[in-house]
Amino acid sequence: MPTTQKSKMILDTRSQRDRALQLLDALRSAKERSEGNLARLNQTDFLKKVTGASSMDNAIASTQRLIDAFNRVLNQLHDELSDADLALLGDLEKHAPPVA
């Protein structure tokens, strides 16, 4: 794979990983709010009671696995780059649009 394609792939993968990290933060916050609401209403999370994990726990775990997969791909791609490729990647990152 040509260097520019690898560099673009790394930038795109990092962008998607960063979006997944934002999602993970949002899920954790939503879980806290949900648990607070359940406690205030003196209610039980029936899924958690039956399976040991709430739907939010499952979503958080799934998102964390996705982030781990992105990190493995990034590490593999990074290991395949030469010093010149890494310098080019650094230049591309400086000019990349901000992550939405």
Of 99 and 89, more confident: 89
Question: Average per-residue pLDDT in the chain?
Answer: 86
pLDDT at residue 1 in the model? 53
pTM: 0.77
Q: What is the DSSP letter of 97?
A: P
pLDDT tens digit sequence for 45-90: 999 999 999 999 999 999 999 999 999 999 998 888 777 766 766 6
Question: What are the CA-CA distances from residue 37 to residues 23, 27, 43, 57 (Å)?
Answer: 21, 15, 8, 16
The mean pLDDT value for 1-13 works out to: 79
Q: Give the pLDDT band (50/70/90) at residue 5.
A: confident
- 35 burial type by CB count under 10 A (0-12 exposed, 13-18 middle, 19+ buried): middle
pLDDT at residue 80 in the model? 81
Strands (E) across the chain are located at none
Q: What's the rounded Cα separation, in Å, for the pair 16 and 14?
A: 5
Is the pLDDT confidence value at 99 over 60?
no
Domains in the chain: boundaries: 3-92
